[in-house]
Structure 1
């Protein structure tokens, strides 16, 4: 199973402020993001899950939460920690599982990722949620595609063997 994080990040790694993106919405980025994760399970934190309840992405949602253990949609699964989230993801039998945030969830899963798909939004923004820093020596930039108002980068973890 490949574990992939997907995020839109600014030059200073900001991903959110007060539960929202701190830049003007980029419809083309939202379309490619939704299309990418539509047919796969996703892992996300409770606050991110709650912010998406009206339009849940993914075929199944694995929600990490210390405070809530049951969720209304039948496709939502509770996980108490990283190991349980990975066990649930594995049990769903999909080849790819996406990690979609928030900041603490990205940080928790960063050492376990196989790939990162990052929409790089130019500029520095104020925020309260960040994508974790990574050592570029451990990663290879596999592709980079320019779009209007963002650049889509796909990073693959280098083999450490």
Structure 2
């Protein structure tokens, strides 16, 4: 199964200069809890923005660069989106797409579930999440609205499933 996990600002911005624009510890804890033990799929720039290979997860990196390699047994480099779709779309294994913007835009129509963190503030950034078509997805879970103790940002966890 293919799923997306993402934190999105009110104006659909998800990042800038290949970094997160906010720090919400509870969002990072949720990301870890949901993706641990599973496969995470990302573009090369997203992989390079990580602090390293994340523990207890298989990493699949999508890149057009045929010479790109990562020397780690938990990392697979793939050069085509169709290979990712064919491998995970109808699999019992869950693969979480974690970014970036281009990868989300190209794969959103192939996912069964979206794990969103809605951040109730607009941000300036250079990377956005595609518009979610409410005809395609329905709400499966919606948390209360929380306030981050450190930043004061209001946020909410929302899970959507394909109709």
Q: TM-score, normalised by structure 1?
A: 0.88
Does the CA-based 8 Å contact 1:41-1:62 persist in structure 2?
A: yes
Q: Which has the higher helix share?
A: 1
Counterpart selection for 2:159 from 142, 150, 154: 154
Once the 2 structures are TM-superposed, how far is the Cα of residue 94 of structure 1 from its aligned partner? 5.1
Once the 2 structures are TM-superposed, how far is the Cα of residue 59 of structure 1 from its aligned partner? 2.2
Once the 2 structures are TM-superposed, how far is the Cα of residue 66 of structure 1 from its aligned partner? 1.0
Look up the SS of the partner of 1:98 in the other structure. strand
Residues 1:33 and 1:116: Cα distance change in structure 2 (over 3 Å): same
What is the rounded CA distance, in whole Å, between the counterparts of 2:125 and 2:101 in structure 1? Answer: 11
Once the 2 structures are TM-superposed, how far is the Cα of residue 78 of structure 1 from its aligned partner? 1.1
What is the rounded CA distance, in whole Å, between the counterparts of 1:126 and 1:49 in structure 2? Answer: 22
Counterpart in the other structure of 2:7: 8
Mind listing any 5+ residue stretches in structure 1 that lack a counterpart? none
Residues 1:58 and 1:49: Cα distance change in structure 2 (over 3 Å): farther
Counterpart selection for 2:49 from 29, 51, 73: 51
What is the rounded CA distance, in whole Å, between the counterparts of 1:136 and 1:33 in structure 2? Answer: 23
Does the CA-based 8 Å contact 2:85-2:110 persist in structure 1?
A: no
Mind listing any 5+ residue stretches in structure 2 that lack a counterpart? 148-153
Look up the SS of the partner of 1:109 in the other structure. helix
Once the 2 structures are TM-superposed, how far is the Cα of residue 33 of structure 1 from its aligned partner? 0.8
Once the 2 structures are TM-superposed, how far is the Cα of residue 121 of structure 1 from its aligned partner? 0.4
Counterpart in the other structure of 2:18: 19
Q: TM-score, normalised by structure 2?
A: 0.87
Look up the SS of the partner of 2:52 in the other structure. helix
Once the 2 structures are TM-superposed, how far is the Cα of residue 87 of structure 1 from its aligned partner? 3.9
Once the 2 structures are TM-superposed, how far is the Cα of residue 58 of structure 1 from its aligned partner? 5.2
Does the CA-based 8 Å contact 2:2-2:88 persist in structure 1?
A: no
Confirm whether residue 144 of structure 1 aligns to residue 149 of structure 2.
no
Residues 1:71 and 1:89: Cα distance change in structure 2 (over 3 Å): farther
Q: How many residues align?
A: 155
Does the CA-based 8 Å contact 2:41-2:97 persist in structure 1?
A: yes
The alignment yields a C-alpha RMSD, in angstroms, of: 1.9
